[in-house]
Amino acid sequence: KALFPPPPSRPWARARRAATMAASDGEAHLLGCSRSVAPPPGLGCLALGTGVGFGMSDFTGSVIDPNTRMGSRTLALNGVPLSGAPYRGIYERWLDLPTARGKRVQDLMSQPFANMNRPWQYPWVSLVLGRRGIELAEAAHDVPELGGSGLGPEAEAEARAPAVRAYAEQWLHFLHTQFIPQLCNGRKNCAERIAF
């Protein structure tokens, strides 16, 4: 089933939609946007934060409910919800850089994440593409963290460019090797467009 954006004249429907907001970050953003404007059909909404949330509208523009059997299959990568789907990414290339041999990278990779003591042994979408992914890019390229350099905005942007570029390339890799083949494959409910 899909959740239809209710018209303002039906308060019971508005309450139902508000209660659904806690489902996941991606769905929450998609539903939040639908309070003003109905999402277009086939919109995949990726929410970046500590991890990666995902929500999608169906072929009519209604938000797909991940708690239904069809919805859980529609929003999955290899049968697993997108945020927890296995994904190795291309970050291992960064670890071969001379700048990646320092303590900063080792410390970051040894930190627990999502209740896992050694998260990088079995990487998944939220680890590699969420906040920890950009942190690893920063450490491996030995660039300052955002706002932590003491440089002006332009100098800091230039200093951070290698890490930002690497992180963007990792996202492109994910979209081309995982997301597009599995969620944009011409089925009834497929992502025809993406929003971050």
pLDDT digit string, tens, across residues 126-170 = 999 999 999 999 999 999 877 777 888 899 889 999 999 999 999
What SS3 state is found at 65? coil
Residue 3 DSSP one-character state: E
pLDDT digits (tens, 9 = 90+) for 148-160: 778 888 998 899 9
What parts of the chain have a pLDDT lower than 50? Answer: 1-23
Token reading at 28: 């929450």
At 138 the pLDDT is: 94
At 53 the pLDDT is: 86
At 16 the pLDDT is: 37
At 5 the pLDDT is: 46
> Please, is 164 exposed, middle or buried when counting C-beta atoms within 10 Å of its C-beta (0-12, 13-18, 19+)?
middle
| Prediction pTM value | 0.80
> Please, is 41 exposed, middle or buried when counting C-beta atoms within 10 Å of its C-beta (0-12, 13-18, 19+)?
middle
At 29 the pLDDT is: 60
C-alpha distances out from residue 196 to 25, 29, 43, 146, 171, Å = 11, 9, 10, 19, 11
